[in-house]
Amino acid sequence: METQNKTVNIQTEQKQQLIDLTPLVYETIRASGIRDGMIGIYSQHTTASLLVGESQSALLDDVLDFLARVVDDRLTYKHNCPELSDCERKNATSHLRSLLLNHSVTIPIMNGKPVLGQFQSILLAELDGPRVRSLHVQLVGNPGRSRSFSSHSSDWGDERSDSGHVRYLR
């Protein structure tokens, strides 16, 4: 098992935007040589988050609109008040929206590819741009030939244990 770490810098272009990182993730896994394992991506910022969602243009607009409705720009926030905060960016809404999302995603790797559903993409949510965002990427796994659970199907069952609970791994 090996571990690889890298930092990726992403230049965002708008105050708020969702950026599809999926092609970057595929390329990072390919370049690493990891066949089976996990990839973890961590946002090193309090106003940029990560999520898994569908990267469809209209839906991405809906997500940003939803966040704007939940955390209203027109309200007064203490973080934006010079008497109460030393933050000159007046970005309280960005911090609050970020709290609704995640700062990391972990995706399994199988056969050298991320395990994602048909419509799933890995997205960076920029909530206070435009800025350069640093993402820490960690890959943990095995290079070379893949081994899957299906090759060990005799180890899996749907039997009830003595306590009545389902026991999946024998």
Q: CA-CA distances (angstroms) from residue 94 to 84, 89, 99, 146? A: 17, 10, 9, 41
d(CA 64, CA 13): 15
Residues 6+ apart with CB under 8 A from 19: 10, 12, 123, 124, 126
The predicted pLDDT at position 142 comes to 96
Q: Which residues contact 78 (CB under 8 A, 6 or more apart)?
A: 84, 85, 92
Average pLDDT estimate for 120-130: 98
Q: How far apart are CA 79 and CA 85, in angstroms?
A: 5
Q: What pLDDT is recorded for position 83?
A: 92
| 83-92, 93-102, 151-160, range with the lowest pLDDT | 151-160
What pLDDT, on a 0 to 100 scale, did the predictor assign at position 78?
A: 95
User: For the chain, which domains are there?
Assistant: 2-148 (2.60.120.460)
Peptide bond into 108 cis (omega under 30): no
What's the Cα-to-Cα distance from 42 to each of 90, 104, 116, 164, rounded to whole Å? 24, 4, 18, 40
**Paired tokens of 125:** 């949510």
Q: What's the pLDDT at 145?
A: 62
Q: What whole-number distance in Å separates Cα of residue 18 and Cα of residue 55?
A: 9
Question: What Rg do the C-alpha atoms of the chain give, in angstroms?
Answer: 20
Gap between the Cα atoms of 97 and 140, Å rounded: 30
Q: pLDDT per residue over 62-79, tens digit each?
A: 999 999 999 999 999 999
